[in-house]
Amino acid sequence: MKKNRIISMLLSLSLLAAAGNASSTKEKDAPIKGLPAYAQDKPLILPAVVEKKLPNGLTLWLIERPGLPLISMYLAVRGGSASDPENLRGVSDILSSTISAGTRKRTSRQIAEELQALGADISVGIGKDISYIGIDGLSSGTGQLLEILADTARHASFPEDEVKLAIENELQSIIASKSQPSYDLSQVFYTELFGKHPYAFVNPDPKVVARVTPKDLLAVYQQRFRPDQGILVMVGNLPTGKMAGLAEKHFGDWKSSGKKLAAIPPAPATTRQQFLVVDRPKSVQSTIYVGRPMPAAGNPDEFSLKVANTIFGGAFGSRLTQNIREEKGYTYSPHASVSDWAKGGIFSISASVRNEVTAATLTEIFYELDRLATTLPEDEELTRAQRYLKGSFLLSNETSSALASTLTGYWIDGKTPGDLAKYVPGIEKVRKQDVREMGRKYFASRKQAVAISGDAKAIMESLSLFGDIRLAKP
Amino acid sequence: MKKIFCKMWPVLLLVFSGAMAGQKLPVHTYKLDNGLTLVVSEDHSSPTFGLSIAYHVGFRLEPRGRTGFAHLFEHMMFEGTPNAPKGSFVKIIQGGGGSLNGSTRYDYTNYISTAPVSALEPVLWLEADRMRHLDFSEENLDNQRDVVKEEIRVNVKNKPYGLFFWTDLAALAFNKWENAHDGYGSFVDLDKASIEDVERFHHTYYAPNNAVIAIAGDVDGDTAYKLVNKYFGSIPAAKLPTLPDVSEKPNTKERFEKETDEHAMAPALAIGWKMPGPDSADYYPLAVLGEVLLGGDASLLYQKMVKEKQSMLSISGGMGWPLGDPLTFAGPSLMVAFGIYKPGSSAAQDTSDIQGVIDQLARQGIDPKRLKAVKTKMIADFYKQLASYIDRADYLAITQLLHGDANLVNRYPDLIRKITSKDIQRVAEKYLTVANRSWIDRQVAQQHQEKQP
């Protein structure tokens, strides 16, 4: 998800394993004897969203959810890492780790301890086009939580010692992350796709990080965090009238001042086919990225693309997983995704495979990409992908915090709560021809760039059959 | 077909539309004649369900010479049956709009799924089908052996720190093979696994009387019971082997190991103290102690090591970390503290500073306000975990399986609330000692050291 810029790179422990896959061509979809059919789908219950706007321009989207004694709130504003000043690319990384590290009246420790006593967590995130502060806690403490949220969104003070520590930790964390195969690879891949556009920026330059000052942070913070380009989303166990009153109390006198953030230009929409290798001596695996730039959020292909990507590689049951995991055993977790932002988007496939099968994996990826562009999917594949997407939509909005996050994403993409109702029909109207059309338009192998992190000595020769392979550094 | 336990508050359910109002989760427990236990928690706030089927077998019970087998077997559960060919499961679940997963832990293996409620019946059929039998084929085994090896390469061999704070720390701290061996397994052992092993394992442990199935969401108890009985009722019970005694006493002498990391660019430190199993009166006090020391930014060790001394870049951990939490163990576990330390610091100094914080806590106890805040946070975190149906079902299945009582999820907040400062002092003094401490200094390999600025 595009908003989650804070990545815990070290400990994504997925011992959670396994899931097999869609049947192979051998057993051609014979019905399973005895298997009961799906029951009738229940009608979709959409949450009632109360929309308001405070006189200072702050948008409010509020939802009451009875049940668990919890509340989730997001204060989000336009402008993220793509809006970092040219000479301070990466300042957002320090900004996100210092917004909740002290305000005019609270130290970082006080913030942490007060939140703990209210059963709450705070998360600050900065994406390419969005910056947000989120708090999840017990609904009994909503007033206090909102006061803390307002304090961090309005009065962050960037204490000198906290900024110094954040910079030092960020520099260390860059060093630690560099050992991940995906770290340099991501930067190489994004640079190839987006060139000089700010979306190309993934990894902060340590030299820039080192010279960030509290004054820089305050300037960027004040330019972004203002009510006329912000939203407060609240979802939880409290009547929306109460939520609105509390929002008014803590944000009503917030003023916008100074120049509004400048819009960023559109990102590139295509790429050339390229083969790049980031050398990682002694690596026992190759990490393969294949992909291209895509259209921005709100494009007319949105739903067709979701369905096409689900059939291709966006779910366990997809063709890609079936092929390179279940039939060939090349990889544990191949994945393909389409993401969109305000001014552009990306399609990317990732797979980590053992060195010997690097070239063979690429062959299979290309085959599956071109198959999508040349033949129609089967009925069963299409229906399964559609049901999967519709169900995921329901499941992904099951909890208050997930719903709050979805709605925040909607707002930044220029959607309204009313768009929640368009999702299911949008997915349902996609036809087989639309999927093939997406294949031709976006997925064809010739339209993708390839970047691989691996032991160059072990893989270069077998890769040379694809053409010129360029060694790349971030 | 006895209902062993049924708490039904129809009025409450209507009034509160099912969700967890009044802080109590509705829990109905049923038992089939073949020994299968069903737990249902009804909630109509979303037209979806979460399902977890947990089997009482995990790393601790895998056969000797077959490390990693429980996990490999878990993969085999997705490879089809004589009725439903490989791939059916994912196809049906995803075609039903849902998602699924499986995981292997010390004391259980669970299979979880979630989907719109229209897919509940086919999912139950599929779960029953693979409890009854599997497609025991060499081809599937070879394929999944490769997939598991890739998983180990991704998570261990090709990854900085490579989960040493789990596998290596457990190997160092524990004495009994059941607790100490690597649950991911060695490639040599994985290669030895045969299709006969797979069959024997399924026959021995994947029986209804060794499992609990829990369903949370848009379904009522009686309907769920009828469906479960329809599909699982005829699966025969098995004679279960007696469980080995896996308990261990705290160590009496400190253990230490130095390692080199091929991929990491910054050194790391992991400390583990041996903890008793959940039958001990010290168990929940230790869980709270873990939170006091390691639970987030307000925790004592984060404040001391990352903020005050600034010698560590990060610190995380807790009881049973990173493979579970206090509700998900049936035997001993470790209290783990793991962090990356800065080049100017040393693991020995950091370990001694961490011990200093603990010793002070053991001597002076904890400020009541802090203790209350920690407990509030633990209870709130628990509610947050119960928010999604799939996690709710999983907790119900695991607590019923391991502790014989799914209502533990309702009692848990009180178990936490009643812990006192004296309890914290007592267990810190008893378990978090130097003698019971095992720790690993994981250093950066030579070729990376030069790259340090």
User: A91-114: per-residue pLDDT in tens?
Assistant: 999 999 999 999 999 999 999 999
First-to-last CA distance in chain A? 24
Regarding pTM above 0.90, the answer is no
Please tell me the least confidently modeled range out of A9-13, A272-276, A420-424, B156-160.
A9-13
**Cβ(B284)–Cβ(B420) under 8 Å?**
no
Each residue's pLDDT expressed in tens, for chain B with a length of 453 residues: 333 333 222 222 222 333 344 568 999 999 999 999 999 999 998 899 999 999 999 999 999 999 999 999 999 999 999 999 988 888 898 888 898 999 999 999 999 999 999 999 999 999 999 999 999 999 999 999 998 998 898 888 888 898 999 999 999 999 999 999 999 998 999 999 999 999 999 999 999 999 999 999 999 999 999 999 999 999 999 999 999 999 999 999 999 999 999 888 889 999 999 999 999 999 999 999 999 999 999 999 999 999 999 999 999 999 999 999 999 999 999 999 999 998 889 999 999 999 999 999 999 999 999 999 999 999 999 999 999 999 999 999 999 999 999 999 999 999 999 999 999 999 999 999 999 999 999 999 876 664 443
User: Domains, chain B, ranges and CATH?
Assistant: 5-232 (3.30.830.10), 255-449 (3.30.830.10)
DSSP per-residue string spanning B289-358: HHHHHHSSTTSHHIIIIIIIS--EEEEEEEETTTT--GGG-SS-EEEEEEEEE-TTS-HHHHHHHHHHHH
The whole-number pLDDT of residue A452 equals: 97
Which chain A residues contact residue B376 at CB under 8 A? 116-119, 138
- How far is Cα B371 from Cα B300, in angstroms, rounded to an integer? 11
Answer whether B100 sits within 8 Å of A180, measured CB to CB: no
Q: Is B137 helix (H, G, I), strand (E, B) or coil?
A: coil
Best of B99, B105, B191, B302 to disrupt the A interface by mutation (most A CBs within 10 Å)?
A: B99
Q: What average pLDDT does this structure show over A279-307?
A: 95
B116 to A283: CB separation less than 8 angstroms, yes or no: no
Q: If you measure CA to CA, which chain A residue comes closest to B267?
A: A176
Of the candidates A69, A317, A332, the beta carbon closest to that of B23 is on A69
Three-state secondary-structure class, residue B96: coil
* % pLDDT > 70, chain A: 94
pLDDT of residue B45: 86
B143 close contact with A: CB closer than 8 A = yes
SS3 of residue B378 by DSSP: helix
Beta bridge partners of A352: A287
> Is there a contact between B384 and A401 if contact means CB atoms under 8 Å apart?
yes
Percent of chain A whose pLDDT exceeds 90: 83
Q: What share of chain B is helix, strand, coil (3-state, %, to 5)?
A: 45, 20, 35
Q: Looking at residue B23, what is its pLDDT?
A: 65
Say if residue B131 is exposed, middle or buried (CB neighbours under 10 Å; 0-12, 13-18, 19+).
buried
Residue A173 banded pLDDT, cuts 50, 70, 90: confident
Residue A12 has pLDDT above 70, yes or no: no
Q: Which CATH fold topology does A50-251 show?
A: Cytochrome Bc1 Complex; Chain A, domain 1 (3.30.830)
Q: Do residue B103 and residue A15 have CB atoms under 8 angstroms apart?
A: yes
Exposed/middle/buried for B405, CB within 10 Å: 0-12, 13-18, 19+? middle
- Alpha-carbon gap: B54 to the closest alpha carbon of chain A (Å): 14
* φ and ψ at residue A181, rounded to 5 degrees: -55, -30
Q: How far is B26 from chain A (nearest CA, A)?
A: 12
Chain A hits for B339, Cβ within 8 Å:
none
Pick the CATH number of A275-471 from 3.90.870.10, 3.30.830.10, 3.40.50.970, 3.20.20.70: 3.30.830.10
Burial class, A28, CB count within 10 angstroms (exposed 0-12 / middle 13-18 / buried 19+): exposed
Distance of alpha carbon A306 from alpha carbon B115, whole angstroms: 19
CB A189 within 8 A of CB A346: no
Residue B127, φ and ψ in degrees, nearest 5: -65, -40
Three-class SS of residue A86?
Answer: helix
Tell me which chain B residues have a C-beta less than 8 angstroms from the C-beta of A282: 262
Closest to A35 measured CA to CA, from B26, B302, B79, B80? B80
Q: Which of B20, B115, B323 sits opposite A68 (nearest CB)?
A: B20
Instruction: Give the per-residue pLDDT at B54.
Output: 98
Report pLDDT digits (tens) over A207-218.
999 999 999 999
The residues spanned by each domain of chain A are 50-251, 275-471
Instruction: Say whether pLDDT at A178 is over 90.
Output: no
Provide the pLDDT for residue A29: 55
Cβ <8 Å between B83 and A33: yes
H or E, element range at B76: helix B69-76
Are B74 and A121 in contact (CB < 8 Å)? no
Q: Is A466 exposed, middle or buried (0-12, 13-18, 19+ CB in 10 A)?
A: middle
Helix (H) or strand (E) holding B28: strand B28-31
**Looking at chain A from residue 5 to 34, which residues have their Cβ under 8 Å from any Cβ of chain B?**
10-11, 13-24, 27, 32-34
Rounded to a whole number, what is the largest CA-CA distance in chain A?
A: 69
Closest in A70, A325, A394 to B47, CB measured: A394
Asked whether the beta carbons of residue A22 and residue B163 sit closer than 8 angstroms, the reply is no
Q: What residues of chain B lie within 8 A of the CB of A395, using their CB?
A: 48, 97-99, 114-116
What value does the mean pLDDT take over residues A455-474? Answer: 94
Domain A50-251 and domain A275-471, same fold? Reply is yes
ipTM comes to: 0.88
- pLDDT in the model for residue B453: 36
Task: Read off the tokens for B184.
Answer: 């991911």
Contact A321, A334 (CB under 8 A): yes
Residues of B in contact with A172 (CB under 8 A): 266, 313, 340, 342
Check CB contact under 8 Å for B150 and A330.
yes
Cα separation of B383 and A237, whole Å? 13
State how far the Cα of A320 lies from the Cα of A339, in Å rounded to an integer. 18
Classify residue B240 by its DSSP letter.
P
CA A407, chain centre distance (Å): 14
Structure tokens at A91: 């300042």
Task: Look at residue A6 and tell me whether its pLDDT is greater than 80.
Answer: no
**Number of Cβ pairs closer than 8 Å across A and B?**
307
